[in-house]
A and B are shown apart, each in its own frame.
Chain A
Amino acid sequence: QKEVEQDPGPLSVPEGAIVSLNCTYSNSAFQYFMWYRQYSRKGPELLMYTYSSGNKEDGRFTAQVDKSSKYISLFIRDSQPSDSATYLCAMSARSGGYNKLIFGAGTRLAVHP
């Protein structure tokens, strides 16, 4: 079983929809949680990061961490065709080294006009 599980999709939604992306994890020591967006043939772009638990909002993006359930989410409001990309969750623990990120498989999102 992988440390971080993420549904690879693909997920197809109409423009303007609310998108919910999720990851579950098994290592309770994870404290740093990040979401990246990766366009085809590009490097991952950091969207959101959260230390420990709670919610964080940035524009159309909201990240949630539920450590009791070992579950993290990224919500995208008013989705746009330009949001079409692969979304990767990543996390790290102090014990493993905060900079050693463990990634989910990534969810491919397609937003159609």
Chain B
Amino acid sequence: KAGVTQTPRYLIKTRGQQVTLSCSPISGHRSVSWYQQTPGQGLQFLFEYFSETQRNKGNFPGRFSGRQFSNSRSEMNVSTLELGDSALYLCASSASSGTGGGYEQYFGPGTRLTVT
């Protein structure tokens, strides 16, 4: 079974621009979560999408948004980029199949975003 894929792998943007990152989950997984990883803050939860609906959200400003398509693929968008948005953005998928099971999350390789 293929793992989680993310595109692009590397991205360089300028302050004020916007960026869209893409994630394809493991086949059959309906939940996609996004995380930001920085040396100072570690891994922080951005949001989760399940069946095309945002089910959960972390403490990030509204510049960070996302969506999920009917095939479970997800995109994340960051508008008006700031220098502090430079990070590794990770996508994770899970089956999310029910209480007590199916919530193990599998991560993709990440997109490394550099804002200059």
Contacts and interface: CB of A to CB of B under 8 A. Distances in A.
Q: Are A and B subunits of one complex?
A: yes
Interface of A: 32, 34, 36, 41-46, 49, 51-52, 88, 90, 92, 94, 96-106
Given A32-B103, A99-B50, A100-B48, 4 more contacts: A42-B109, A46-B105, A94-B99, A99-B48
Contacts of A96: 56
Contact of A34 (B33, B42, B105, B108): B105
B107 A100 contact: no
A102 B43 CA distance: 8
Given A46-B104, A49-B104, A100 B43 contact: no
Contact of A106 (B33, B42, B99, B103): B42
Contact of A43 (B42, B48, B103, B107): B107
Q: How big is the B interface, by class?
A: 20 to 34
B107 A45 contact: yes
A11 B35 CA distance: 26
A88 B44 CA distance: 12
Interface of B: 4, 31, 33, 35, 42-45, 48, 50, 55-56, 58, 90, 92, 94, 96, 99-101, 103-110, 112
B42 A98 contact: no
Interface of B is mostly: strand
9 contacts: A32-B103, A34-B104, A43-B108, A44-B107, A97-B55, A101-B92, A103-B42, A103-B43, A106-B43
A61 to B, nearest CB: 15
A97 B43 contact: no
Given A44-B90, A51-B100, A94-B99, A101 B109 contact: no
B103 to A, nearest CB: 4
A43 B106 CA distance: 9
A98 to B, nearest CB: 4
A44 B45 CA distance: 14
Nearest to A88: B43
A81 B107 CA distance: 23
A97 B46 CA distance: 13
Contacts of B58: 100
A43 B99 CA distance: 26
